[in-house]
Structure 1
Amino acid sequence: MGCSSCSTGKDGQPRGCKNNGTCGTDGCNKLTVFDWLSNMSLPNGEKPFDCVEVRFKNSRKEFFRNSENLSLSIGDIVATQAQSGHDVGMVTLVGELVKVQMKRKKVDFNDPELPKVYRKASQKDIDVWQKCRNREEEIKKRSREIAIILKLQMKISDVEFQGDGSKATFYYTADERVDFRQLIKDMAKAFGIRIEMRQIGYRQEAQRLGGIGSCGRELCCSTWLSDFRSVSTSAARYQQLSLNPQKLAGQCGKLKCCLNYELDVYLEALKDFPSSDTKLLTEKGVAFCQKVDIFKATLWFSYKDEPANWHALDKEQVNEILEKNKKNEKVASLEEYAMENIVEEKVVFENVVGEDSLTRFDRPKKSRRRNNRNKGRKQNRDKANVTGGSRPANTNANSGKKRRNPRKKRQNNA
């Protein structure tokens, strides 16, 4: 999706949103909620809800009370209350849906200490805000250099300025507890602002920075996921995925959130499946489960003495054998059940010309000796044609002499 502020250069390359993620048309925002009540009027005597949702840099959203009864709409830039001074953000939701969002995030809309919206941002407020945002990359680079000099085991991933430019929040990730008191002193002295350090997890870091996943799409956490649910390796086991951390881990280094998307379907399908530790008792021997295919409802079993020979059985057949085993009855063999599942594959497409061959453009390699012989014969023919069709003269001095047989010579010597 794009907004009306998105542009392209002269060479056709996209330049992105000119507003750097704060566009007013609501097309480039992250985690935006669609206001499906915007075209509906309130009943008679009902007052509009006096709270609004305001988004700041990246996905940080907070709720504010519109105590001044300002006529606000989605996309308006407003000055809001902060701990000291004021902050500048963009309105992302108004009306009754704000109450729904506050209930969902467990925020009390009757709280008298809820921060307020001061006013619509003036041009001076917006200029100061944009000037502070332009300094963020430079300050982030300088703060990383200071942390390296102090030899702190931490990574500063993002910097967010307050709207009035009096305070900056530094988001960092670290594996252990970090003593950054000296870091705060050095940064406050270098930048001349109040410093706040806030530790975030690796998933929150990926959410703030964004990126492209292995599927080729934008990260779910930076586009539409609003909360992080725990992902365990059991989700990969239920879906029969290889426990390879390089494939299962996302850009944050944790297990991918998409492992939970289809987990419920797999768990529902596995209810009727026998366990993978199932043993089948036959007259030929004990059979163990080697593989399970949930989509085809097929299980592969092999005998204890013949682990390389697998026999495919349906889910119903396995349950039937298990019922007989509970009654202390043994089946003859697995081959009888496996023969019933053999189905002849029908050829849907049969190619006569051979155009689907992968090696149809490959030429067979010819030996070099044969090519050299043919080349020499061709040269002799060309010489013969030049001399009038006669055989080329032999330039060897001994060409007129008759060749001797080396065997006769050896016999005479004997």
Structure 2
Amino acid sequence: MLTLVKATLLKYNEVVYLEVKNGEPLNYDDVIVAETKHGKFLYRVLKESYQVSKDDIVEPDGKFIRLATNDDFLKDQLNDKEAEAALSFCIDAVREENLAMYLLTSKYSLDKEKLIFFFTADERVDFRSLVRILAQQFKTRIELRQIGLREKARYLGGVGPCGYSHCCSTYLGNFEPVSIQMAKNQDLSLTPVKISGACGRLMCCLSYENDQYEEAREKLPDVGEFIYTPQGKVEVIGLNILELQIRTKNKDNYIHEFSLDELEANEV
């Protein structure tokens, strides 16, 4: 058995799963020092430590070291100020090197052994010369990490059409695949601007209730199908999936709505 904790990088909602080797109990909202392949950083606990079989997981993203101290918080704040200055320098260097990349933010590891720059780009970027410039300037290991449009929206934050903060920048962990079929299952308008998030991709929330919509659709007839009802043979012209109701019209174009219970009773 392994003891794991689910956590997120401070000031950047990047979810990781960390191994807790000493079995120390960790609680929600604890701030901890942990080490991943990117270095040592402060993380906030999203889910208290729990045990899982080694056969049920892939390799953890890193390991828990200890609970954060006041000195760790102070060091992280000072590092962030230096990282902001480093970002300004990097922006100028990108401009001078004429690289097609958009810098978002920068982050020092807690021990300052690594300086990470987050950026987006439409195509693959050869930034080897930029890395040499940055390494010479800051005398530490440099990592340029390209992120996608969803990750960019996560970092920038904002408010969705629902009136709440973006899911990705508040509580959402890993990004799950979202397809246009999910919008079709909910009878939503397929106009891109209405079903796309700030990132320009399909909204993550389309997947939240997709299983329930698929289950309901299996119970209902398709639009355009002819069925037999208490009013005789009619054509299905619309569905209310949440209410499990269908809208129909008969040969005289009379519109009538039926519930699934009424249809099932008619079959009996």
Q: TM-score, normalised by structure 1?
A: 0.50
8 Å Cα contact 1:52/1:66 also seen in 2: no
Q: Corresponding residue for 2:75?
A: 128
1:184 to partner: Cα distance: 1.2
Distance 1:157 1:209 in 2: 8
Distance 1:77 1:201 in 2: 27
8 Å Cα contact 2:3/2:52 also seen in 1: no
Distance 2:25 2:168 in 1: 32
Find out whether 1:297 has 2:251 as its counterpart. Answer: no
1:200 to partner: Cα distance: 1.9
Distance 2:216 2:115 in 1: 51
Please tell me the residue identity of whatever aligns with 2:13: S
8 Å Cα contact 1:250/1:256 also seen in 2: yes
In structure 2, the residue corresponding to 1:168 is in which secondary structure? Answer: strand
Find out whether 1:59 has 2:3 as its counterpart. Answer: no
8 Å Cα contact 2:159/2:166 also seen in 1: yes
In structure 1, the residue corresponding to 2:197 is in which secondary structure? Answer: coil
1:54 to partner: Cα distance: 6.1
1:55 to partner: Cα distance: 4.8
Please tell me the residue identity of whatever aligns with 2:30: G
In structure 2, the residue corresponding to 1:147 is in which secondary structure? Answer: helix
Unaligned runs of 5+ in 2: none
* From 103, 113, 117, the counterpart of 1:170: 117
Distance 1:262 1:115 in 2: 34
* From 163, 181, 186, the counterpart of 1:234: 181
Q: Corresponding residue for 2:40?
A: 87
In structure 2, the residue corresponding to 1:99 is in which secondary structure? Answer: strand
Measured at CA, do residues 130 and 253 of structure 1 come closer, stay the same or move farther in structure 2, by a change above 3 Å?
A: same
8 Å Cα contact 2:41/2:109 also seen in 1: yes
In structure 2, the residue corresponding to 1:135 is in which secondary structure? Answer: helix
Unaligned runs of 5+ in 1: 1-48, 324-414
What does residue range 6-405 of structure 1 map to in structure 2 within 5 Å? 55-57=8-10, 58-60=12-14, 61=16, 63-65=18-20, 75=30, 78=33, 80=34, 87-90=40-43, 92=45, 97-100=49-52, 106-107=58-59, 115=63, 117=65, 121=69, 123=71, 126-278=73-225, 289-294=236-241, 295=243, 297-301=245-249, 311-312=255-256, 314=258
1:162 to partner: Cα distance: 0.6
In structure 2, the residue corresponding to 1:211 is in which secondary structure? Answer: coil
Measured at CA, do residues 260 and 301 of structure 1 come closer, stay the same or move farther in structure 2, by a change above 3 Å?
A: same
Please tell me the residue identity of whatever aligns with 1:299: R
1:312 to partner: Cα distance: 3.5
Q: TM-score, normalised by structure 2?
A: 0.73
1:168 to partner: Cα distance: 0.8
1:228 to partner: Cα distance: 1.6
In structure 1, the residue corresponding to 2:79 is in which secondary structure? Answer: helix
1:172 to partner: Cα distance: 1.9
In structure 1, the residue corresponding to 2:219 is in which secondary structure? Answer: coil
1:251 to partner: Cα distance: 1.3
Distance 1:92 1:296 in 2: 40
In structure 2, the residue corresponding to 1:264 is in which secondary structure? Answer: helix
In structure 2, the residue corresponding to 1:224 is in which secondary structure? Answer: coil
The number of residues matched between the two structures is 257
Measured at CA, do residues 288 and 174 of structure 1 come closer, stay the same or move farther in structure 2, by a change above 3 Å?
A: farther
Distance 2:36 2:244 in 1: 59
Distance 1:209 1:263 in 2: 27
1:108 to partner: Cα distance: 6.0
1:273 to partner: Cα distance: 2.1
Q: CA RMSD in A?
A: 4.2
